[in-house]
Chain A
Amino acid sequence: MQVYLKIVVTSILLLSSLAIADTRIKGTGGVSSISGSGGGGIIPWATLGGLATQDQSSMTGFISRADVDDFTLDVKGLAVNLNNRVEFSLARQDFTIKANDAQISQNKYGLKVKVAGDLIFGQLPQVSVGIEGNSLRDPETARAVGARDDDGIDVYVSAAKAWIDGPFHRTSMLNLNVRSTRANQFGLLGYGGDDQDRQLMIEAAAAMFVTRSLAIGIEYRQKADNLSALIEEDASDVFIAWFPNKHLSLTAAYVRLGDIAGAPNQNGFYFSLQGAL
């Protein structure tokens, strides 16, 4: 809790030293993913969160909740975007098992750097490289199910391209990630297992702005199945995101998380509220 407070205070101090950015086209900063980094919902995208361009910096904060059959996942987090080049992100994930109200919490730290291209302009897609550090605060469950470690590092390469005049003359975007990971269920069940360890996983997203303030899309996240004791399946979602103005977004999604810790077909709704400065 104390660490959390410190982070919030530091961020507010940092923010007050940033000029408020408002020169990116509404929605092009995307929303906040469950790892805190800018993206969609269940995966990060190559886009950096917020409204910064190369001459500015910006910040985003968000809260989200996924509520599937037997579990909930509450996430809150922050991200700072420096000159639309470097993004630092922090998130706290609280996973609750509905049956016994037990909780597993995890901290996520992220760094994402835009290395080439631009989301909208020019031929090259925007390419970013990201690193996610994860540390489990309640590692007992992870150990019980056979995970090797309580913390782990993911590295990913992400490419995104938007077309102003896309299908149906609507602004549309595609995103593709390749992730090197050891995580079991996003890390909530630890890192590495008795069956497998570090692997490359594919993640993808497609989105379309139906109007200037309403986007719809789909996401897919391939997940490893490292633990012999449990089944882990790929995740996907369909979402709708509303941008009433440049500084606010509200996302609703239907998520399919597959089998989690022996409970099959975990489907449900996801909501996320993001503020951007």
Chain B
Amino acid sequence: MRAFPSFKTSRLFATATLLSLFLGCSNMTPEKTLYQRLGSAEGVANITELFILEIARDERVIAYFEDSNVQRFREKFIEHLCMITDGPCEYSGDTMVDIHVGMNVTEGAFTAIVEDLIEAMTKADVAIGTQNQVLDRLARLRPEIIYL
């Protein structure tokens, strides 16, 4: 009985491990940006469309959007989502504070919007890990949005 692999087999192992590491490295492509993982321009537009549909049927938040121009929201939100996911866009809308000031967005309304976006990304088949990276970036904006 041999409890441990012989020197020979363990050296074989080490060589194989090194080799696979090396091959793994040479195969590595630069990591995709978050924007690309959302499906680039098409993906971000699709997510935004699904997001608007979610908001439209979300009784917890729809009142906030009563007088909004959907066309403008769509356009600016796409730019914004593109920008914060490292996409090649210039956001031309107003600052988060300027937009949301006076709306008195509650903590609950913010969570509701986050859930609507989760729902939209899920319907767009965005992987959960990618979703969480997007949500993490949006969560940082919360102090610029709620209770203003």
Residue from A25, A165, A169 within 8 A of B111 (CB atoms):
A25
Instruction: Give the docked Cα–Cα distance between A4 and B143 (Å).
Output: 43
Is A266 interfacial (CB-CB < 8 Å)? Answer: no
- How far, in Å, is B104 (CB) from chain A's closest CB? 10
Q: Assess the B111–A23 pair: CB atoms within 8 A.
A: yes
Q: Assess the A54–B107 pair: CB atoms within 8 A.
A: yes
Contact with B along A15-55 (1 / 0, CB 8 A): 00000011111000000000000000000000000000111
Instruction: Give the docked Cα–Cα distance between A171 and B139 (Å).
Output: 13
- How far, in Å, is A164 (CB) from chain B's closest CB? 5
Instruction: Give the docked Cα–Cα distance between A120 and B110 (Å).
Output: 13
User: Which of A122, A165, A171 has the largest count of B CB atoms less than 10 A from its CB?
Assistant: A165
Given the known interface contacts A53-B106, A121-B142, A212-B118, the answer about A171 and B132 at a Cβ–Cβ threshold of 8 Å is yes
Q: Which chain A residues border B108 with CB–CB below 8 Å?
A: 21, 23-24, 53, 55-56
Q: Which chain B residues border A164 with CB–CB below 8 Å?
A: 132, 135-136, 139
Interface residue tally on A, bucketed by range: 20 to 34
Which residues 44-96 in B have Cβ within 8 Å of A in the complex? 60
Is A211 interfacial (CB-CB < 8 Å)? Answer: yes
Residue from B60, B129, B136 within 8 A of A23 (CB atoms):
B60
- How far, in Å, is A28 (CB) from chain B's closest CB? 9
Which residues 88-120 in B have Cβ within 8 Å of A in the complex? 106-109, 111-112, 114-115, 118
Q: Which chain A residues border B14 with CB–CB below 8 Å?
A: none
- How far, in Å, is B124 (CB) from chain A's closest CB? 15
Q: Assess the A53–B130 pair: CB atoms within 8 A.
A: no
Residue from B111, B115, B118 within 8 A of A53 (CB atoms):
B111
Residue from B107, B118, B136, B142 within 8 A of A165 (CB atoms):
B136
Q: Which residue from chain A places its CB closest to the CB of B122 in the assembled complex?
A: A212
Is B10 interfacial (CB-CB < 8 Å)? Answer: no
Instruction: Give the docked Cα–Cα distance between A5 and B135 (Å).
Output: 44
Instruction: Give the docked Cα–Cα distance between A166 and B136 (Å).
Output: 9
User: Which of B107, B112, B139 has the largest count of A CB atoms less than 10 A from its CB?
Assistant: B107
Q: Assess the A121–B139 pair: CB atoms within 8 A.
A: yes
Instruction: Give the docked Cα–Cα distance between A155 and B135 (Å).
Output: 35
- How far, in Å, is B127 (CB) from chain A's closest CB? 8
Is A170 interfacial (CB-CB < 8 Å)? Answer: yes
Interface size on B, residues (CB 8 A): 21
Instruction: Give the docked Cα–Cα distance between A55 and B104 (Å).
Output: 12
- How far, in Å, is A210 (CB) from chain B's closest CB? 9
Q: Assess the A165–B112 pair: CB atoms within 8 A.
A: no
Q: Which chain B residues border A171 with CB–CB below 8 Å?
A: 132
Which residues 126-148 in B have Cβ within 8 Å of A in the complex? 128-130, 132-133, 135-136, 139, 142-143
Instruction: Give the docked Cα–Cα distance between A135 and B28 (Å).
Output: 62
Q: Which chain B residues border A56 with CB–CB below 8 Å?
A: 108
Q: Assess the B111–A24 pair: CB atoms within 8 A.
A: yes
Q: Which chain B residues border A23 with CB–CB below 8 Å?
A: 60, 107-109, 111-112
User: Which of A23, A56, A120, A122 has the largest count of B CB atoms less than 10 A from its CB?
Assistant: A23
Given the known interface contacts A53-B107, A55-B108, the answer about A169 and B130 at a Cβ–Cβ threshold of 8 Å is yes
Q: Which residue from chain B places its CB closest to the CB of A172 in the assembled complex?
A: B132
Q: Assess the B107–A170 pair: CB atoms within 8 A.
A: no
Residue from B111, B129, B142 within 8 A of A170 (CB atoms):
B129
Q: Assess the A169–B112 pair: CB atoms within 8 A.
A: no
A–B Cβ pairs within 8 angstroms, 28 of them = A21-B108, A22-B60, A23-B60, A24-B108, A24-B111, A25-B111, A25-B114, A53-B108, A54-B106, A55-B106, A56-B108, A120-B139, A121-B142, A122-B142, A122-B143, A163-B136, A164-B132, A164-B139, A168-B129, A169-B130, A169-B132, A169-B133, A170-B128, A170-B129, A170-B132, A171-B132, A211-B128, A212-B128
